[in-house]
Structure 1
Amino acid sequence: NPESEWILWNKILNDWSNCIKKKTIMDTCNDLIRNGVPFHFRPLVWQYLVKADISDVKEKYLNFMKIPSPCEKVIRRDISRTYPEHDFFREKDGLGQESLFNVIKAYSLYDREVGYCQGSAFIVGLLLMHMPEEDAFCVFVSIMHDYKMREIYKPNMFYLGLCMYQLECMVEELLPELHRHFQSEGFHTSMYSSTWFLTLFTTQLPLALVCRIMDIFLSEGMEIIFRIGIALLNTHQDELMTLAMEDMLKCNFLNMFRIYEV
């Protein structure tokens, strides 16, 4: 029940350094994460899961605040397109948009090879809904480097292509009829799944569900993105089988995914 889960979370978080050494406790923690991390604990849980090196990265963040970035113009352009209906980001040049700009700009200086990629703004925005910008920057750095997201955002996008190829192989194996339909319509995996990997579903699914996905992503890694992708395709297979490519492109699955807004 919720009360006992809160007690368990309190115990685990108050003794995290010892708990992570005990398999039985971490198995319990993984079960709790799959049930959904309570909003109150989520900022701390996310920081613990990514093992964010707070002190060192925070110091760099403060320094980056004083340095201009060559990506500033394009970042400013995209800020208003990130969670435009969310109260925290709705106001032009408000606290939310400025925090978003600060974190993205700082990362573009921290990792000049990647610089700025549009999809990253939605992940940063999700973090900022749960924690101050300095902490969000630390968690984002860990996500980029320890969860291979920077590989997805690299200019050559080789790893993004690899992920989409792996997903296509899974669709071919697990959903052969749907795969044949996609093939016959010329509906390539990149047409629907690139956004899944670039934004971790933050632009495709309701916010409450996206938070649950991030809980598991930070605990288990990229595998959960493949699993959710296959689950969504499987759930909507009958409808997708009736659509021509033009219709699939037009809906971009968004109309289908609205059923998750519960």
Structure 2
Amino acid sequence: MDFELVRPSLAQFNQASGRSSEDSSLGTRDASSFDGRTSSNPDPYRRTDSPAISVSSVGYQAPPSSSPDTSIDAHRQRELKWVSLMGTVPSAQAKKSKKVKKLLIEGSVPSSVRFLVWSHVTDGKAKGIPGVYAQLGQRARVSASSDIERDVQRCSADHPQMQSNQASLMSLLQAYLTMVPDVRYSTGLTLIAGHLLALSPEEDAFWIFVSIMDSYLRPYFSSNTTQLEVDAALFSRALESNDAQVAKKVLTDMSINPVDLCRPWFSTLFVDVLPLDYLNRVWDLFLYEGVPFLFRVALALFYCCRRRILEAINQDSLFDILNHPSPNWLPPSPDAFIALVYSFKVKDDDVRKQRIKMEAQVKRQTQTPRANPIAAISLSFPRP
């Protein structure tokens, strides 16, 4: 496996979080490799003899907590920093900008400018074509309209932030699905679009959504690619490299298909899984980092739920643990969770290379000819 995975450093994680979560203890892991500090291995969360593990770890450090007297001023300063940065770094260059990454990592993006930051990082404004969204809304209803309406009502009941935007959510999904005929509707689209609408005006949310789909997620929902199967297989390898005991429990003993693990997470961007403030921080970084960041988030969730995973007695209980983790199992703050996420290193170049190799393997195994994912992408814009 070509991934470079760095096990989370307990000292680093505790410095970021102020305490370890309830599931930070790693159960029955062998003391020489993963559990218990010794003079020869001062960091028990990294196995120095593992070829998948880097000898050194450069992890995210959560910023120190602000005092109440300075929190308002700090919030305003962050707003000003983002406004200034968005005025100097072109949106087309945002994903290549070290300044953007530094500011994203330094602390939470202020909620007052979050949708603007997301639009800037995804280059959503550049996707927008004046008048197109309104014209798309005038097209005939898509065949999945009844499914969308059902999911909008259900998701709004589960996510209060979506309740006031049900009509806009229906309109956004209707417009998108008429524009991209290769995309098959699933509930994940409702969850992702609904979360965007909770923070963004409708048309802005639409073009951010288009940008996210085009850049990262569209193959997950297309009938012409095997990308979700590929990424699930890659993640299962990453899990095996990171924690063989948990991987054996989940993938072998319980015979869980990796796709069934990854679909509820990757195809919803964790909207149904993480508390809202944690979710926003994950999105802040995902929109910059891309799909490899989803792998890190998934590894962090396995880490947080580890003891309960090992105690699970059947598939139903395991899926309940993974898809509905208690907030008490997570680090005490969103920034502490991001610190944990960044302690799992996955090389982006390796992911891209392995994706190409794995997709070829999946195609051969399924013996089903698949269209070229690039050639398969089509758009159906309204005529002027």
Could you tell me whether the CA contact under 8 Å between 1:171 and 1:179 is conserved in 2?
yes
Q: 1:51-200 counterparts in 2 under 5 A? A: 51-54=123-126, 56-68=128-140, 69-90=142-163, 95-147=164-216, 149-155=217-223, 158-182=226-250, 183-200=252-269
Could you tell me whether the CA contact under 8 Å between 1:43 and 1:131 is conserved in 2?
yes
Q: Distance in 2 between matches of 1:36 and 1:128?
A: 19
1:189-211 deviation line (CA, Å, top 9, x unaligned)? 23332111110100011111111
User: Which sits farther off after the overlay, 53-62 or 73-82?
Assistant: 53-62
Could you tell me whether the CA contact under 8 Å between 2:155 and 2:162 is conserved in 1?
yes
RMSD of aligned Cα (Å): 2.5
Quick one: structure 1 residues 249 and 232, their matched pair in 2 at CA, closer, same or farther if it must change by over 3 Å? closer
Q: TM-score, normalised by structure 2?
A: 0.61
**1:248 is the counterpart of 2:320:** no
Quick one: structure 1 residues 217 and 242, their matched pair in 2 at CA, closer, same or farther if it must change by over 3 Å? same
Could you tell me whether the CA contact under 8 Å between 1:107 and 1:115 is conserved in 2?
no
1:72-131 deviation line (CA, Å, top 9, x unaligned)? 2221121111232444533xxxx5100000000001101011142221111101110111
| SS of aligned partner of 2:325 | helix
In the alignment, structure 1 segments of 5+ residues that lack a partner are none
In the alignment, structure 2 segments of 5+ residues that lack a partner are 1-65, 67-73, 334-384
Highest RCO, 1 vs 2 (Cα 8 Å, sep ≥ 6): 2
- Count residues with an aligned counterpart: 255
1:162-191 deviation line (CA, Å, top 9, x unaligned)? 111011000111111111112112233233
Q: Distance in 1 between matches of 2:314 and 2:100?
A: 43
Please tell me the residue identity of whatever aligns with 2:202. Answer: E
- Deviation of the 1:246 alpha carbon: 3.6
Quick one: structure 1 residues 58 and 19, their matched pair in 2 at CA, closer, same or farther if it must change by over 3 Å? closer
Could you tell me whether the CA contact under 8 Å between 1:49 and 1:218 is conserved in 2?
yes
- Deviation of the 1:245 alpha carbon: 2.4
Matched with 2:24 is none
Q: TM-score, normalised by structure 1?
A: 0.87
Matched with 1:33 is 104
- Deviation of the 1:7 alpha carbon: 3.2
Matched with 1:6 is 79
Who wins on radius of gyration, i.e. which is larger? Answer: 2
Equivalent in 205, 216, 229 of residue 285 of structure 2: 216
- Deviation of the 1:22 alpha carbon: 11
Quick one: structure 1 residues 115 and 176, their matched pair in 2 at CA, closer, same or farther if it must change by over 3 Å? closer
Could you tell me whether the CA contact under 8 Å between 2:309 and 2:318 is conserved in 1?
no
Q: Distance in 2 between matches of 1:228 and 1:21?
A: 22
Could you tell me whether the CA contact under 8 Å between 1:50 and 1:218 is conserved in 2?
yes
| SS of aligned partner of 2:110 | coil
Q: Distance in 1 between matches of 2:86 and 2:147?
A: 39
Could you tell me whether the CA contact under 8 Å between 2:115 and 2:200 is conserved in 1?
yes
Fraction of identical pairs, as percent: 25
User: Which sits farther off after the overlay, 230-239 or 39-48?
Assistant: 230-239
- Deviation of the 1:59 alpha carbon: 2.2
